[in-house]
Every structure is written in C-alpha cells, then in structure tokens.
C-alpha cells in the first residue's frame, strides 16, 4: 500500500476498503504530504484519519470479543471510544484475557499464523495523541507560524502512525479464539483462566497436553 509522494487530490480519491488499515494508510499519506510541504492542513487530516482508524480498530476488536453486537451496542459505540473500551472489558470475554489466551494457544501451533495482539492501553494512548490535533492548539504565532512547532507536531503523529503501520503490515491481521466453538477441554481451560484460577504458564502446560484439539 503506497503512501509516499501523493498529491492531496490523489489522497482524497484513494479507493476505500472497509478496514481500519485504510484510515492508517490515509494518515500516512497525509503525513507524508505534511512533511513535504511543511503545511498544517495535511497534519490535521493525518491526525483525523489516525483517530478514526483507531476507533474503527476498536470496533473490529469488539466484533471479535462479543458473541453478538446488538443495534443498541452499535449505537453506543458511535463516537464513543470509552463505551467501546467498556465493552471490550466485559466480564464474559474481556479482550485482554481472550487475546492472551489466543496468543498462548497460537504459540503451540506449528507454522502458526503471525497474528496481531493489540494492547488496549497503548491504543488509547495513541488515540489521545491523535486527538490533541483535533482541538485548539494555541495562537498561530505560537503554532502554525512556527516551523519548530510544525516539525515537532509531525514527529509526534509520525511516532504513533509508524508504530501502528509496522504492526499492521508485518502481521497477518487480528484474530481471537471463539469460546463458543472451542473444544470442551479447551473451553474448560479458558473458563479457569477467565476465573483467575490458573496463570499463563498453567494455560500453556494444559493446552500443550491437548495440542491436537487446538
């Protein structure tokens, strides 16, 4: 996915695809334009696409953790990352625990797929940085008219989007084990892990003993 050397018109007319990574591509493209032109407009557009992409990513993670997303759930999520965060931490399938359980199980599989396991605290940290540039940043003589401010702002956004881009492009995507389709013996281990009856090492040992069922 090429992002370098595009004009504003080329970025705007980029073919869309329904995935958070499209917004990250747009963010990279706008940031590249900001670096080439030292303009603040592309910088703000980059931050907007970055934040939108992060919120889209949170919803993608939510679809993997919830057994069913109702229309009410969907409406609550619109424009509310905090609500998505609450749902991702739900007691039945908390993303952090199911993600770690999947990661352990995946590590025992030969020729395992390179799955991406997101750190929610990191995602929300990145969301906060992107959000900084969607609000008033100060008078123009202290911001837009300062080359030093533009350079430091570009670097701040670049640190986030480059990290996200590396994770997205160097893996095969996101994925979680579905508790509803686990083999009974695997589901028993998951339930014990969910109830904090066993730790990561115990999960690994027990799953290793029933590896064929994975």
Q: What is the reported pLDDT for 91? A: 74
Ordered DSSP codes for 92-133: SS-HHHHHHHHHHHHHTSTT--------HHHHHHHHHHHHHT
In a domain, 208, yes or no: no
In a domain, 189, yes or no: no
Rounded CA separation 9/14 (Å): 9
In a domain, 19, yes or no: yes
| Per-residue tokens: 8 | 């504003």
In a domain, 22, yes or no: yes
Q: What is the reported pLDDT for 1? A: 74
Q: What is the reported pLDDT for 38? A: 96
Q: What is the reported pLDDT for 77? A: 86
In a domain, 198, yes or no: no
Distances (CA, A) of 129 to 39, 46, 140: 19, 12, 20
Residue pair 190/180 in contact by the 8 Å Cβ criterion: no
In a domain, 52, yes or no: yes
What 3-state DSSP class applies to 42? helix
Nearest CA to 160 among 45, 58, 28? 28
Q: What is the reported pLDDT for 76? A: 86
Q: What is the reported pLDDT for 59? A: 92
- What is the mean pLDDT of each successive set of 10 residues along the chain, which is 214 residues long? 92 92 97 97 97 94 88 87 87 91 93 90 95 93 93 97 95 92 95 96 96 78
Contacts of 130 (CB under 8 A, 6+ apart): 47, 48, 50, 51, 54, 157, 160
CA dihedral 198, 117, 55, 172 (to 10 degrees): -150
In a domain, 128, yes or no: yes
Domain count, the chain: 1
In a domain, 98, yes or no: no
- By residue range, what is the domain housing residue 74? 8-91+119-171
Q: What is the reported pLDDT for 44? A: 97
| Per-residue tokens: 175 | 């994925």
pTM for the predicted model, two decimal places: 0.91
Q: What is the reported pLDDT for 69? A: 86
């Amino acid at each position: 996915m090429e992002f370098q050397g595009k004009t504003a018109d080329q970025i705007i007319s980029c073919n869309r695809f329904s995935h958070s990574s499209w917004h990250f591509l747009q963010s990279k493209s706008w940031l590249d334009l900001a670096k080439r032109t030292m303009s603040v407009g592309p910088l703000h557009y980059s931050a907007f696409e970055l934040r939108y992409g992060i919120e889209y990513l949170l919803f993608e993670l939510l679809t993997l953790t919830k057994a069913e997303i109702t229309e009410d759930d969907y409406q609550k999520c619109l424009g509310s990352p905090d609500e998505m965060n609450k749902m991702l931490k739900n007691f039945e399938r908390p993303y952090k625990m199911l993600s770690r359980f999947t990661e352990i199980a995946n590590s025992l599989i030969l020729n395992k797929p390179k799955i991406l396991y997101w750190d929610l605290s990191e995602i929300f940290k990145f969301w906060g940085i992107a959000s900084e540039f969607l609000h008033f940043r100060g008078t123009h003589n202290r911001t837009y008219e300062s080359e030093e401010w533009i350079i430091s702002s570009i670097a701040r956004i670049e640190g986030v989007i480059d990290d996200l881009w590396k994770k997205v492009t160097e893996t095969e995507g996101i994925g979680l084990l579905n508790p509803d389709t686990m083999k009974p013996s695997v589901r028993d281990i998951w339930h014990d892990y969910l109830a904090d009856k066993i730790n990561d090492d115990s999960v690994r040992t027990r799953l290793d003993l029933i590896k064929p069922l994975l």
